[in-house]
Each structure stands twice: as C-alpha cells, then as structure tokens.
Amino acid sequence: MFSKRFKQLTPYTPGEQPQNRKYIKLNTNENPFPPSPLIEEYLKTADTDLLKLYPDPGSDKLRKTIGKYYNLPASMVFTGNGSDEVLSFCFYAFFDSNNGPLLFPEHSYSFYPVYCGFYDIPFKRIPLKPDFSISVDSYIKEKNYSGIIFPNPNAPTGTYLQPSEIERLMRNTRKDRVVIIDEAYIDFGGESAVELVNQFDNLLIVQTFSKSRSLAGLRVGFAIGNDKLISALVTVKDSFNSYPLDTLAQNAARIAMEDIDHFEHNKARVIETREFTINELESLNWVILPSLANFIFIKKDNIRGKDIYEKLKEKGLLVRYFGHTGIEDFIRITIGKKEDMIVLINLLKTIGSN
Ligand SMILES: Cc1ncc(COP(=O)(O)O)c(C=O)c1O
C-alpha cells in the first residue's frame, strides 16, 4: 500500500505546540511581539473577492519589494511557503548523490538531515570548534562534496560568523558547488552576507519572515542569489506547486518588508531582552554560548539538560531540549517578552541551586 520512498521517511520533529495547557512558550523561536500593525489593517479590509482567483504564481510584487530592500533586482529573489519550503527546493535543485556528501555542522538545524533523507542526498556532519562556533577551515579542507549549508547564526547554538568569514569560505571552496547560508536569525544583531551574492554565483542566502518580522504563521521565506540559481528554484517550484504563496501572504509579507520602523523596533526589543537575560543568567553562573539570534543555548554544571527541560515544563514553561551527544546538557531558550524571561530566570535560579 505504501511506497518504498515513503517507508524510508524520517520526518522532522517540530517544537511542541501544545493545545491543552497554557505554557510560556520559549521553544520554537517565534517572535513574542506582534507583526506590523499595518498587516492587521490590511487583513481587516482585504478584498476577499480576490480569493476567487489563484494568486500570482511568481509573487512578483513581493519579490520586487524584497529586492528593493536589499538593492537587488527581483530576478535575484525567490519566495516560498516558509524558508523550510525554500530550503527543500534548494536541496532538490542543488544537491546530489553523485557529487559526494552535503556538508553541514554536526549541531545544526535538524531539518537538513530530514531533507537529505527525503531526497536521498548523502551528508557529512562537520565538527564545530570546541567553543561550538563553526570552523570555516574545516569546510575549506573538504574537497569532495555536493554542497555546503549552515545557518548563520547557527541553530541551536546561536554562534555567528562575520560576512568576511563567509567570503573567506566562498573564496576557498569549490565554485561548482552551491553554498547556502540560512540566515533565519540574521536580523538579531548579525550582518547579512547578502551582498556577496554579487561576487559569488554559487552563493545563496535564505531568509524568513517567521522570526524578525513576527510572521511564523504566515509562512513566507525567500532566497537571494544569482539569476541562474533562482531560475532553478522556480523550475522546482513549478514542478511541485506553482502557487506556494497565497494572495494574503504575498500582500502581508510585502507590508511587513516595507514597515521598516516596526521591524527595527521589534528587533531592538528582542536584542535588548536577550542581553538582559544573558546578564542575569551569567550572574547565576549559567554557561551561555554567545548568541546573535533570538534564542540562547545554555547549560549549568552538574545538571542534566533533560532535567532542566522537564522541571521548566512542569512549571508551565516550554524550552527546547535536543539530547544529541555533545550538546545533551544544553537547552535552547527563545527570547520572549521581558516578563516571561523574568519568570524563566526565577525558575532557573531555583533549579540551578538544587
Ligand atoms: C535555521 C532555520 N532555518 C529555517 C527555519 C524555518 O523557518 P520557516 O519555515 O518558518 O521560515 C528555521 C525555523 O525554526 C530555522 O531554525
């Protein structure tokens, strides 16, 4: 009854979205602040008659708006139903079992191995440095691979590479392989490597509206790169679903991209709350990896990560626990509103002193 392909699937396990109890949710890196108020206005007055028609398959206006923000033509922008879909199309278009493994960090976004399973792409996990940062030199040393992908800042660690390091990676790796920098969290203090797409034809930057623009529920992501890479993504899209972005999502995302004041304000609030949380936890002797994301990755000596996760959950606060070897004592905490972080800090104070 089921295909061989289907039987081999290992799906991604997303962070819990519990419906039965009210938790303080610091587990899926959502933004605690609302999206641009202009979106509410738009949705309240949107012309529902438009929904009779199929949406613009090319999301042309949205791509133009994103291009304008980055000073690039729309032909260098691809949009999809969340960056997860964009990434999935990238894996299909650029990585292959004929060219060696896809390289990504040993601790990274757990959807990457899932897509590899889905598309039958071999992969190799590249160790992080002892301080958990990404080692560009380790990628440069590799000679046989079908591509490279990593988030910057990395997830779940939060560590960040400067664009100069991305440039060094691009200069010293194969020109016939695509390198994807997944910048889901770049807006929380990092500098995007997007300008490098003008220099390197094989570089693709992927971003999302889910985090810094508070639109995880809208499902909009995008990729920026050379026209040839973008056309390849369009070919994959049109072989799968020509209309991945609905009309409301295209329009609302455009509004979010244009409301720069709200975007800047939201970002600043998250960054400020992150720094507040880090200071408080450092004074309680927690180990916190340096983060330029909207989450922190923390641990404390002599307490198991799983125990921290479970104790917090018992008290009504959800964080993310991975349990993978090497990071089994860490938990990942999304930066929420300050009042939620104060609840967290107080709970960690008691957990940490037991
Ligand atoms: C590194 C990374 N990339 C991509 C995504 C996907 O985001 P979305 O599909 O909501 O755009 C996530 C989501 O948490 C992420 O952590």
Ligand 1 contacts CB of residue 183 (under 6 A): no
Closest CA to 12 of 80, 78, 91: 91
**109 CB less than 6 Å from ligand 1?**
yes
Q: What is the C-alpha to C-alpha distance for residues 15 and 52, in angstroms, rounded to an integer? A: 34
Decide if 69 contacts 259 (C-beta within 8 A).
no
Q: What is the pLDDT of residue 21?
A: 75
pLDDT-derived band at 354 (thresholds 50, 70, 90) equals low
pLDDT in tens, 63-116: 999 999 999 999 999 999 999 999 999 999 999 888 899 999 999 999 999 999
CATH 3.40.640.10-classified regions of the chain: 37-259
Give pLDDT tens digits for 250-307: 999 999 999 999 999 999 999 999 999 999 999 999 999 999 999 999 999 999 999 9
How far is the centre of ligand 1, averaged over its atoms, from the C-alpha of 350 (Å)?
32
C-beta 88 within 6 A of ligand 1? no
Name, in order, each residue with C-beta under 8 angstroms of 59's C-beta and a sequence gap of 6 or more.
79, 245, 250
Query: Backbone phi, then psi, for 276, in 5-degree steps?
Result: -60, -50
Q: Is 29 in the pocket of ligand 1 (CB under 6 A)?
A: yes
* pLDDT over 80 at 353, yes or no: no
> What pTM was computed for the model?
0.96
160 CB within 6 A, ligand 1? no
For the domain bounded by 37-259, which CATH number is listed? 3.40.640.10
Pocket test for ligand 1, best of 208, 215, 335 (most atoms within 8 A of CB): 208
Pocket mutation for ligand 1, best pick of 28, 87, 88, 210 (most atoms within 8 Å of C-beta): 210
193-213 per-position pLDDT tens digit: 999 999 999 999 999 999 999
> Which residue of 211, 212, 218, 295 sits with most ligand 1 atoms within 8 Å of its CB, as the best mutation to test the pocket?
211
What percentage of the chain exceeds 90 in pLDDT?
Answer: 91
For the chain, the three-class secondary structure string (H helix, E strand, C coil) is CCCHHHHCCCCCCCCCCCCCCCCEECCCCCCCCCCCHHHHHHHHHCCHHHHHCCCCCCCHHHHHHHHHHHCCCHHHEEEECHHHHHHHHHHHHHCCCCCCCEEEECCCCCHHHHHHHHHCCCEEEECCCCCCCCCHHHHHHCCCCCEEEEECCCCCCCCCCCHHHHHHHHHCCCCCCEEEEECCCCCCCCCCCHHHHHCCCCEEEEEECCCCCCCCCCCCEEEEECHHHHHHHHHHHHCCCCCCCCHHHHHHHHHHHHCHHHHHHHHHHHHHHHHHHHHHHHHCCCEECCCCCCEEEEECCCCCHHHHHHHHHHCCEECECCCCCCCCCCEEEECCCHHHHHHHHHHHHHHHHC
Boundaries of CATH 3.90.1150.10 in the chain?
4-34+261-353
Ligand 1 centre to CA of 212 (Å) is 11
Sign for the CA dihedral angle at 112, 117, 120, 123 comes to positive
Q: Whose CA is nearest to atom 12 of ligand 1?
A: 184
Taking the C-alpha atoms of residue 36 and residue 189, their distance in angstroms, rounded to an integer, is 20
| Inter-residue contact 110 to 6 (CB < 8 Å) | no
pLDDT tens by residue, 224-245: 999 999 999 999 999 999 999 9
| Ligand 1 contact, 182 CB (< 6 A) | yes
- The CA 125 to ligand 1 mean position distance, Å, reads 19
Average pLDDT over residues 212-219: 98
Assigned architecture for domain 4-34+261-353: Alpha-Beta Complex (3.90)
